[in-house]
Chains A and B, each alone.
Chain A
Amino acid sequence: MSITELTALELGAKIKAGELSAVEAATEALAQIKKKEKDINAFVTVDEEGALKRAAEVQKRIDAGELKDSPIAGVPVGIKDNMCTEGLKTTCSSKILYNYIPTYTSTAVDKLEKAGAVMVGKTNMDEFAMGSTTETSHFGATKNPWNLNNVPGGSSGGSAAAVSAAEVPFALGSDTGGSIRQPCSYCGVTGIKPTYGTVSRYGLIAYGSSLDQIGPIAKNVSDCAAVLDIIAGKDQKDSTSMERELDFSAALVDDVKGLKIGIPKDYFGEGLNSEVSQKIMDAAKVLESKGAILEEFDLGLVKYAIPAYYVIACAEASSNLERFDGVKYGYRTEQYDGLHDMYKRTRSEGFGAEVKRRIMLGSFVLSSGYYDAYYLKALRVKALIKESFDKAFSKYDLILGPAAPTTAPEIGKSLSDPIQMYLGDIYTVSLNLAGLPGVSTPCGLDSKGLPVGLQLTADCFKEKNIIRAAYAYECTGEFQPSPVACV
């Protein structure tokens, strides 16, 4: 068995036992990346030299007995290219940041490095995390390892594909409207979007600040829980990060007896692919057979989540992306006539079509005369959506449904009809609006051989419920993705 097939925890255990070194693990990952990248394009930047140097340093720390408590010391990791990494180019997959080298490291990455994880590179994404396919990257689309003609999902498509193709055992992604869960669904890997405020956003290049969360993407639930244990926690540098109960790995218990699971009837209507629907219901029955109590119910407001999300996310994006002005970093246009012309040309040349589309919509809904009708209206609908979840979680420990209405679409089929593409986020965006945690974990393949993702949602701060149920499901071995074999 090649070491690239190991999970993060398995690899970490071997390194801890001295069976192989951090440098060997990094070398193997880099070799796999070299082999796969021409097909997959999961990385914007592969930092071979830096990775080997970092691995050697980590090995020294391991040898000195410093990293005994870390289960991932020496394990290679891919970082989504919207998280700042000191000295290593961070582009957000945008032309406007094509040469940006941060002077500081994001808290989540810093915590991983303190625990001895070895960053091997920065993963591809939709430009500024705006997209559902990783096709809007300035550095070319990422391909789905299960079928190179299909998209890996997005916006954390590079991170999900890199794990699926066994280039790295785990990666970090970020999730504003489904950007961890949907690509995990399409790529047959597991990813968790934690409760808003669980992981510090310091150093994460902002898209929709009230919605953005960083989370782990890995081959199984145990790896995700272990990574979350490391990256979560209150951070002085992010005032929205929360003091809260952690120790997610304690929930890795193969027992769902008595767990009350609600299945929203309104998730299973028009627009949901019948094969996906079948796989999700099969997975629900597996949990039922292990003692969980299933009940169908009406969640309500499902179709309003997407329009509310796009108003809020675009409004925040139009404000957050004002900082890209050709003065402080990144791209500046060649020819201009005065300051304002320089701003406008720089931004018009530096941003791609989808980013400009969202900045325009965001600027419009925030402009005087429209602010109440659109922006405040969306914030009121957000309050209603939160209420409907509160009601559901007064009865259920978990909500179960699909992560996405279909499996991965073919490359080139999504961008021409934005609203259709946005509808693919129907099951994921409402969690961001309500701040809820969610996991996507694989639950089978469709007839085209593409993975289906099961989404489990819990109330705020109740990650343990989703981790427990996802782990119990995984323990049945109903679906074990074999990433290497499938590439």
Chain B
Amino acid sequence: MANKIDDATIEYVGILAKLELSDEEKEESKKDLERMLDYVDELNELDTSGVEPMSHVFPVNNVFREDVVTNGDGSADTLKNAPESKDGGFVVPKTIV
């Protein structure tokens, strides 16, 4: 079965992915997704009814430890990596107009 990705879908996936694609990139991405999905559809040859999805190979569940602070205040060093910072915080574009 050949998958078809329409304009609305590629627009929507772009929003989810937080990527801005040019018109040319959108067309490429459509073809790309269609090809990959056609390939992935091979999985449908397998009957998986009754099979539990396996997200983790080992049965490791919640891992708890005492909530004890072991690190110091690394905020100044952390902020050194920020493209823009001010008064001990990250600077982002204005979000409330």
Chain A residues with CB under 8 Å of chain B are 99-101, 103-104, 196-197, 210, 236, 239-240, 242, 301, 303-304, 307-308, 310-311, 318, 322, 325-332, 336, 338-345, 347-348, 351, 356-357, 359-367, 374, 376-384, 386, 418-419, 434-435, 460
Contact = CB atoms under 8 A, between A and B. Distances in A.
Contact of B19 (A240, A348, A419): A348
Nearest to A365: B40
B83 interface: yes
A197 B57 CA distance: 10
Given A356-B17, A364-B37, A374-B40, 11 more contacts: A197-B60, A210-B56, A210-B57, A308-B43, A328-B81, A360-B33, A363-B17, A364-B13, A377-B48, A386-B57, A418-B36
Interface in B53-83: 53-58, 60, 63, 65, 74, 77-78, 80-83
26 contacts: A210-B56, A239-B60, A240-B56, A304-B43, A304-B45, A308-B43, A311-B40, A327-B83, A327-B90, A330-B81, A338-B93, A342-B92, A348-B19, A356-B19, A356-B25, A361-B33, A361-B36, A363-B17, A378-B40, A379-B53, A379-B55, A383-B53, A383-B54, A418-B36, A419-B35, A460-B57
Contacts of B51: 380, 383-384
B82 A328 contact: yes
A379 B9 CA distance: 24
B81 A339 contact: no
Interface in B17-62: 17-21, 25, 29, 32-33, 35-37, 39-40, 42-46, 48, 51-58, 60
A328 B93 contact: no
B20 A344 contact: yes
Given A240-B60, A307-B42, A348-B20, A367 B81 contact: no
Given A379-B53, A379-B54, A419-B35, A360 B44 contact: no
B8 interface: no
B84 interface: yes
Closest CB pairs A-B (n = 4)? A379-B53, A435-B57, A332-B83, A329-B81
A384 B46 contact: yes
Nearest to A332: B83
B57 to A, nearest CB: 4
A310 B17 contact: no
Contacts of A386: 54, 57
B29 A197 contact: no
A377 B16 contact: no
A351 B14 CA distance: 14
B94 interface: yes
Contacts of B36: 310, 361, 418-419
